[in-house]
Structure 1
Amino acid sequence: MKHTISRLANCRAIHILVLLTALLSTAIIPALAQSQNLPDIGGNGGLLSDQLENEIGQQVMSSIRRSTRTIQDPLVYDYLGNITYRLVPSAPLENRDLQLVIIDNSAINAFAVPGGIVGVNGGLFLNAATEQQFASVLAHELAHLSQHHFARRMEQQETTTPLTVAGMIAGIILSAVTQSDIGLAAIAGTQAMTMQNMLAYSRAHEKEADRVGMEILASAGLDPRGMPEMFEIMMRRNRLQGNRLPEYLSTHPLTQSRVADTWNRASQYSGQRVADSQEYHLMRHRLQVHYAKSPELAIRTFESELEKDDPDHLEALRYGLAVAYQENREYDRAEQVLRELLDGNPGRITFQVTLAEVLIDHENYDSARELLKQALARNPENYPISYTLAMAELGDGNGATAADLLEELARQHPEQELLWLKLAEAEGMARNIVGVHRARAEYYLLMGDLTSAQRQLRQAQDILPASSTERQVISERLGEISERMQARNR
């Protein structure tokens, strides 16, 4: 199913723009007022301090969570984390603690903003035919972060007012959050330069990100040729869409000369073609089912591909068919295909987790539990396995067991709001009211709703005896929230 930004979301986006402008103006104006000349970019003494970058990053993530549908499928999210952190050691990043987000939109898009936020659309999986092409977009975004392009873009505005700079930041962030042109319009309306100069400056940054991104790919053992190949896909999409510029190209200008330049650069890297991991194509087909107009159409598409004489990625296509069967509630057929795949790949986590999901959907909790516990014994702390086991326990009414699993997952992945929601549900099933309030508080904090988080923790605090250790922990958390609220109101 395809998701687009509705009129309501656009109204909400405008509201977020106002809030972001006010917030970032408050944070930036005092810093800029200390000196008429902006400092050089680089390190802790740069235009954007580490603290300010982190604040921007937190605000971006809160805005995304509030205004945009995201994909939190543990298998897809885990794959994105694995491929990103394959690239990270080769990227010249000062801060390697990244937050990843997958926007539930079938268009090609990706972005990176200060605070280590890297996002992709689900549509990037659909349009990147190979893992090398997909990784090239991630490498490009990591290059933007490593080269401080966000801050350097601000530096060019040193003759403008601080409010203009704040408005530009809000606009850039908003276009990443909403995947619409509202943010870009805000940038155009607040800059003291022509759009032509703006694009020329952006192209210079794009060229630098291309160069650094290819170096990251080569160093990580991936194929730099994936970048010009992906650019050609984008150019074809651009021609097909006519006057409607693809989302990615609205923020990442692309010309034929730039494509040619990246081909020339890629040819300078020696080496054989790099084979894709099977996991990429499993995730790609999983998302093809997600974005299909109907499960029946997805089934027909995969069956048609499998009927070809020599289809590529045979197992991945069969996996896609199984996921389509699952989505169409043909659980017996999905289970049969997945068990056949597991016979040939006994330890593949994706097949195990997906089979367990089918068993859970079919309310066969005992079989799902047994399968997942065996898988977890071989892969301790694995995110998709642990999460799916928690869902099996939750479905079977074992709230306390599910809560134990989800609490550990939330500790490991505190930025995943879905975990806190599920933890609150599990704690409620286990009749742990304090646990419900604490989990809801963490969810509200991720959403940027400090008042609701504070209220939840106070309700939990009221239940506990004064001498309780847990009450002390909650009091400390309340103190942290109060400090954040005071900082926001300065």
Structure 2
Amino acid sequence: MEFIRAFRVRHWPGTTTLWPLLLGLLLLPVTTATGKEAPLPTFGGTGGGLISDQMEQQIGQQVLRSIRRSADQVTDPLVNDYMESIVYQLVPSVPLKDRQMSIVVIDSPAINAFAVPGNVIGVNGGLFLNARTEQQFASVVAHELAHLSQRHFARRMEQQETSAPLTIGGMIAGIILSAVTKSDAGIAAIMGTQALAAQNMLKYSRANEQEADRVGLEILAESGMDPRGMPEMFEIMMRQNRMQGNRMPEYLSTHPLTQSRVSDTRSRAEQFPVRGFEDALEYHLVRARLQVHYARSPVDAVNVFNDYVKTEEGHEMAAARYGLAVALLAAGRAEEAEEKLRELLEHNPMRITYQVTLAEALLHQDRMDDAREMLRTALRRNPDNRAITSMLARAELEADNAPRAVDHLRNLTRQYPGKEHFWLRLAEAEGQARDIVGVHRARAEYDILTGDLEAAERQLRQAQEKVPPDAPARQIITERLSQVSEALARSR
């Protein structure tokens, strides 16, 4: 039985609210908060070809800032930890000079994945829903990494230079349009000719796709994953395409897929040795979390997982039991969720996902001391673990211990300085701890990550005014303010 068929996915509002912003991004240059044009990459330079390596990095950073402003993201640390683990399992086998990745998970139940210059990799939460195995899921990530390694985006731009020139602002908007919204021809027509040009440029050619398939298969094999997951995933997408009629899955709008390509990929995959490939349990646990997240209602999720528990074995059984616990928690039945989670922990006592979810169930029952004790023990065993630290920060806040929460969130912002939601949570915790300077500094970092340098400058000036001239923090704030002011001056 497939979860995706059992659930009726609820409407997800994130994409609908993006249209005004995306229309502005598509038709206008990228700007600062006051309408002044922000610094954008220029064509040419070192690195050869139309787009230099430096320009690719700049494009990637601009795309990240725009996604942070405009797209709902899955901020669940358990999901993000898994996503990073699978990317970095594959990356050592990817022919890239720079293997540092920026990874995002878009909060949408649709199938989509994307890779853009500057080593930005993203997937929709819906990819987890539709990929029944970890091998299938990894195949899409490997395919996107292959596009990066072969610089297909840059090569596509070079081909388009004379036939359909685009402003960089339009190009970036097109990337975001493709990454976080439904990007079919009807939308392109609404957006106008500039959008259509962006869409055309973002569609990979048949040769690009075949090359990414070939390189992606090699990446999978070298990483210990099953290359056969790629044609399996393509067949799932083809079935979805047939079922949806005129509504093409988002992924296929920029990655054209034909039956001959599926057949070719299957033939190539069969040339690799047959080995015993086993999914990681964590993939199925994360998938279960997202299935509850996207279910029409928690009650529906409880009913489906109750049925599923009766039929499955192995990893699927553990995932079904875990999914039932998550669904019970979402349905406000925390005591029952706790019982299920403790049963799972009896068989796998060190599983972080079970521990973190049990702590959440305890918090729902206002058992703050029990949750904190368990999480502190888990953190001693797994220092700096993101999911444990994040849940412990939440537990400390709910227990009115804001200073301890601040400590944990500062640790998270040091480890993950590019994750804007941690800076927002830190600002909230600093406020509860009555550290106004800390609030301003955390808000400034959030504003920097979302590209609002004027707001960041204001926050840092307010922080500076509240710190005595001889305080050690004054110099740190002054240096950061200088960096922001210089970047703002360059944008004017």
Where does residue 458 of structure 1 map in the other structure?
461
- The more displaced of 55-64 and 339-348 is 55-64
Q: Give the corresponding residue for 1:485.
A: 488
Q: Which moved more, 1:15-24 or 1:380-389?
A: 15-24
Q: Match for 1:301 among 300, 304, 313?
A: 304
Q: Does 1:322 align with 2:331?
A: no
Distance 2:415 2:383 in 1: 13
Contact 1:13/1:178, CA 8 A, preserved across alignment: no
Match for residue 54 of structure 1?
Answer: 57
The Cα shift of 1:161 comes to 7.5
Q: Which residue of the partner structure matches residue 189 of structure 1? A: 193
Post-superposition offset of 1:28: 4.8
How far apart in 2 are the matches of 1:403 and 1:45? 46
2:442 counterpart of 1:443: no
**2:223 — aligned with what?**
220
Distance 2:341 2:390 in 1: 19
Question: Aligned pair 1:10/2:50, yes or no?
Answer: no
What's the offset of the Cα at 1:218? 0.4
User: 1:484: how far off?
Assistant: 1.8
Provide the secondary structure at the position in 1 that maps to 2:465: helix
Task: Give yes or no for the alignment of 1:71 onto 2:84.
Answer: no
1:7 deviation in Å? 4.8
**1:427 partner amino acid:** E
Match for residue 387 of structure 2?
384
- Structure of higher RCO (CA pairs closer than 8 Å, 6+ residues apart): 2
Please tell me the residue identity of whatever aligns with 1:433.
I
Does the 8 A contact of 2:160 with 2:201 survive in 1?
Answer: no
Q: CA deviation at 1:163?
A: 4.3
| Matching of residues 229-244 of structure 1 within 5 Å | 229-244=232-247
Displacement of 1:421 after TM fit? Answer: 1.0
SS in structure 2 opposite 1:101? strand
Local SS of the residue matching 1:45: coil
Residue aligned with 1:44, SS: coil
CA displacement at 1:164 relative to structure 2:
5.4
Residue 36 (structure 1) aligns with: none
- Local SS of the residue matching 2:406: helix
1:131-280 paired onto structure 2 within 5 Å: 131-160=134-163, 163=166, 167-181=170-184, 189-190=193-194, 202-280=205-283
Name structure 2 gaps, 5 residues minimum.
Answer: 1-9
Per mean C-alpha deviation after superposition, the further-off stretch among 122-131 and 179-188 is 179-188
Counterpart in the other structure of 2:7: none
Three-state SS of the structure 1 residue aligned to 2:40 is helix
> How far is the alpha carbon of 1:471 from its aligned partner?
1.1
Contact 1:167 1:186 in 2 (8 A): no
- Which residue of structure 2 lines up, in the alignment, with residue 87 of structure 1? 90
Take 1:399 and 1:208, find their aligned partners in 2: how far apart are those partners?
52
Tell whether 2:40 aligns with 1:27.
yes
Cα gap change, 1:185/1:53 in structure 2, threshold over 3 Å: closer, same or farther?
farther
Structure 1 gap segments, 5+ residues each: 33-38
Q: CA deviation at 1:467?
A: 2.0
**Using a 3 Å threshold, how does the CA distance of structure 1 residues 185 and 485 change in structure 2: closer, same or farther?**
farther
Give the direction of change, closer, same or farther, for the CA distance of 1:236–1:367 in structure 2 (3 Å limit): same
- The one-character-per-residue Cα deviations of 1:101-130 (angstroms, maximum 9, x if unpaired) are 111110100001011111100000000000
- Aligned pairs, how many? 478
C-alpha displacement of 1:174: 3.0
Match of 1:335 in 2: 338
C-alpha contact (below 8 Å) 1:47/1:151 kept by paired residues: yes
Quote the Cα distance in structure 2 between the aligned partners of 1:395 and 1:322. 22
Task: Give the TM-score normalised by the residue count of structure 1.
Answer: 0.92
Rounded Cα–Cα distance in structure 2 between residues aligned with 1:191 and 1:2: 25
1:281 counterpart residue number: 284
Going from structure 1 to structure 2, the CA distance change for 1:194 and 1:304 (only over 3 Å counts) comes to closer
Of 393, 402, 405, which aligns to 1:402? 405
Q: Shift of the alpha carbon at 1:373?
A: 1.0
Change over 3 Å in CA distance of 1:469–1:158 after alignment to 2 = same
**Deviation string for 1:34-88 (max 9, x for gaps)?**
xxxxx8xxx8334322332222112111211221111000000000011110001
Q: 1:19 to 1:61 in 2, by over 3 A?
A: farther
Q: 1:170 to 1:128 in 2, by over 3 A?
A: same
Q: CA deviation at 1:273?
A: 3.6
Q: Distance in 2 between matches of 1:194 and 1:176?
A: 12
Counterpart position of 1:415:
418
Contact 2:14 2:108 in 1 (8 A): no
* Worse overlay, 89-98 or 261-270: 89-98
8 A contact 1:171–1:185 mirrored in 2: no
Partner residue of 1:475?
478
Moved more, 75-84 or 12-21: 12-21
